[in-house]
Structure 1
Amino acid sequence: MSEISSAEKISYNDYHVPAFGYELIREILIPELLGKNTPHLLYWAGKSLARKFPLDTFEQIADFFHQAAWGSLETKNENNNEIEFEFTSELISHQLKQKKEMSFQLEAGFLAQQYEMQKKVICEAFEHPRKKGGKVQITIKWDKKDVIE
């Protein structure tokens, strides 16, 4: 049995990543490497991740958010050309209370691409961190005329 096949059998549910390690990579290392382009590049990185992990339902997307330690994802509002999500976790709540500027462009790009693949129209996402509530809102918008072939 190869190392890869045995590694694939590991259940990630049994492991927990310390918040310090997560923040070290996300809030210090990545911005240091990407500089002022960090939010823009994270958005496109989120879209790339979504293409590598295509999901068919909201439940699968919410489960992905949980597994990736991005937080609990909920749908808040939906109409003909947009949908609004809210996600939170203890870590997000703490981060928003401690920091002036936070970027959730990775998650925004991921959601935009998932809905783009599901709806077959070009989608764009906008983040709205809510410091007071310790939550993040992401709005995805699309135009039914911008069909993907």
Structure 2
Amino acid sequence: MSELTIQEKLIQKETLSVPIFGYNLIREDLLQDLLGKDTPELLYWAGKRIARKYPLNTSDEITAFFHQAGWGTLTIKSESKQEKLFELQSDVITERLNSYPDSTFHLEAGFLAQQTEHQKGVLSEAFEHPRKKGAKVQFTVKWDLKDKIED
């Protein structure tokens, strides 16, 4: 029996799925109970920590990561000298926005902020803007080119 290549393993993993109920059970119920009122802030920092563990060098890599993580389809809507606007959509997000009106996307925002810091070498922060109408989430990532990160 031959060993699977890395590409074949990734394809196999992509075909695995998690029921939306199970995803929401952990994301919307369990984490809320465990983290309490600090859930949004802690998820933001958790997103930054994940990004440090998986540093990505391009926007395409970030988009691919979101897809592989099951977070949805991420697109860049606009970019200026000190700001980037992302949009995230998926069936999971539609379900979360419809079933959990107070759902937050701070995990994803923290991830985007940290990846931007990594790529640009400056302090960055991200803000989420859930849009129930249209079933999508927009993220604004901002940075100041004067706030360089020291190595």
TM over 0.5: yes
The answer (yes or no) to whether the contact 2:24–2:96 under 8 Å persists in 1 is no
Shift of 1:134: 0.3
Q: Is 134-143 or 90-99 further displaced after alignment? A: 90-99
| Distance across 2 between alignment mates of 1:99 and 1:26 | 11
The one-letter code matched in structure 1 to 2:18 is V
Q: How many residues align?
A: 143
2:37 corresponds in structure 1 to: 36
1:73 aligns with 2:79: no
What are the equivalent positions in structure 2 for 1:51-130 lying under 5 Å apart?
Answer: 51-130=52-131
Shift of 1:10: 4.3
Shift of 1:74: 0.1
Overall identity of the aligned pairs, in %: 57
Please report the RMSD computed on the Cα atoms of aligned residues, expressed in angstroms: 1.5
The one-letter code matched in structure 1 to 2:21 is F
The one-letter code matched in structure 1 to 2:132 is K
1:136 corresponds in structure 2 to: 137
Matched residue SS, 2:115 = helix
2:46 corresponds in structure 1 to: 45
Matched residue SS, 1:133 = coil
| Distance across 2 between alignment mates of 1:123 and 1:100 | 27
Shift of 1:95: 1.9
1:145 corresponds in structure 2 to: 146
Shift of 1:101: 1.0
| Distance across 1 between alignment mates of 2:146 and 2:114 | 17
| Distance across 2 between alignment mates of 1:118 and 1:75 | 15
Q: Deviations over 1:58-83 (max 9, x none)?
A: 11111110111100000001100000
TM-score, normalising length: structure 1: 0.92
| Distance across 1 between alignment mates of 2:103 and 2:14 | 27
The one-letter code matched in structure 1 to 2:68 is Q
TM-score, normalising length: structure 2: 0.90
Unpaired stretches in structure 1, ≥5 consecutive residues? 1-5
| Distance across 1 between alignment mates of 2:99 and 2:42 | 24
1:3 corresponds in structure 2 to: none
The one-letter code matched in structure 1 to 2:62 is I
Matched residue SS, 2:61 = helix
1:16 corresponds in structure 2 to: 17
The one-letter code matched in structure 2 to 1:19 is I
| Distance across 2 between alignment mates of 1:19 and 1:98 | 11
The one-letter code matched in structure 2 to 1:97 is N
